[in-house]
């Protein structure tokens, strides 16, 4: 694993998107994304109703990066730089070159291939620059959009983690997907 990637935040570019570090100046945009019930339906947390929570979240993301524990990019259209979603690596296991991903896009931007484009570049970075060998994603069973994005990128389902997420008074099954470095091919070269 290449720990040098933590020396300065790795900005990533795709055809339409800029993946960059978020700062406190992004609090309103990120609040817009994460205060939407539809967007948070399949996330581990519920919709956020207090911007102070977002400000703490951004602070936490910066801290995790400084501590070389997690990387989370804000997703912005190249032309206007305002945050419309986020994606990143967490649960990074250096000994086994493995990490989990999570991602989220504001509902007004769904269905335009944006997350496929962002994750494709994030996977390239993970395998080629960071040195990961295995990338994992866990998805709530009914999240058809997320499953479609993962399959499009070449992830395969490994199984079902039964009742492994407790949210809103209920246990939920999570589908577990992975992709290996040996399987990765770019879907959207730019
Ligand atoms: C799931 C999510 C990331 C998809 O992002 P997106 O940018 O809309 O996805 P894309 O446009 O790249 O879609 C890729 C494919 O999935 C399909 N798709 C997207 N949303 C879908 C849905 N809700 N149901 C069925 N298919 C869907 C698209 O039509 C596209 O298929 P195609 O290539 O055959 O046309 C986005 O809806 C989201 O952020 N949802 C809320 C948060 C979330 O669920 N995060 C994931 C947690 S595991």
Mutation choice for ligand 1 from 149, 152, 155, 187, CB with most ligand atoms inside 8 A: 149
For residue 142, the CA-to-ligand 1 centroid distance in Å is 12
Judge contact between 51 and 58, C-beta under 8 A: no
* Mean pLDDT estimate for the chain: 96
> By alpha-carbon position, which residue is closest to atom 21 of ligand 1?
145
Is the pLDDT at 173 greater than 70? The verdict is yes
Average pLDDT over residues 17-23: 98
> By alpha-carbon position, which residue is closest to atom 8 of ligand 1?
110
**96: Cβ contacts below 8 Å, ≥ 6 apart:** 133, 134
pTM: 0.96
Task: Kindly report, residue by residue over 116-165, the tens digit of the pLDDT.
Answer: 999 999 999 999 999 999 999 999 999 999 999 999 999 999 999 999 99
At 189, the pLDDT band (50, 70, 90 cuts) reads: low
Residue 38: how many other CB atoms lie within 10 Å: 10
Q: What tokens were used for 83? A: 């945050």
Average pLDDT over residues 3-7: 96
For residue 74, the CA-to-ligand 1 centroid distance in Å is 17
Question: What region does 73 belong to: left with phi over 0, alpha with psi -120 to 50, or beta?
Answer: beta
Is the pLDDT at 188 greater than 60? The verdict is no
| Weakest mean pLDDT among 76-80, 162-166, 182-186 | 182-186
31 vs 51: CA distance, rounded Å: 6
Q: Is domain 6-183 given the CATH code 3.40.630.30 in the classification?
A: yes
Say if ligand 1 is within 6 A of residue 34 CB.
no
The domain ranges of the chain are: 6-183
Length of the chain: 190
For residue 150, the CA-to-ligand 1 centroid distance in Å is 9
148 vs 92: CA distance, rounded Å: 24
């Amino acid at each position: 694993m290449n720990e040098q990637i933590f020396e300065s935040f790795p900005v990533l570019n795709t055809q339409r998107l800029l993946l960059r570090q978020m700062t406190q100046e992004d609090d309103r945009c990120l609040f817009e994304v994460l205060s939407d019930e539809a967007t948070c339906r399949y996330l581990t947390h519920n919709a956020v109703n207090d911007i102070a929570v977002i400000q703490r979240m951004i602070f936490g993301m910066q801290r995790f990066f400084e501590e070389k524990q997690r990387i989370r990019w804000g997703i912005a259209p190249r032309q206007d730089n305002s945050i419309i979603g986020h994606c990143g690596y967490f649960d990074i296991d250096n000994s086994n070159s493995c990490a989990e991903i999570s991602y989220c896009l504001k509902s007004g931007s769904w269905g335009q291939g944006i997350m496929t484009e962002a994750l494709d570049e994030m996977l390239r970075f993970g395998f080629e620059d960071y040195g990961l060998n295995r990338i994992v994603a866990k998805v709530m069973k009914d999240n058809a959009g997320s499953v479609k994005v993962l399959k499009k990128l070449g992830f395969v389902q490994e199984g079902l983690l039964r009742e492994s997420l407790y949210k809103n008074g209920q246990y939920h099954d999570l589908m577990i997907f992975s992709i290996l470095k040996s399987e990765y091919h770019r879907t959207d070269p730019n």
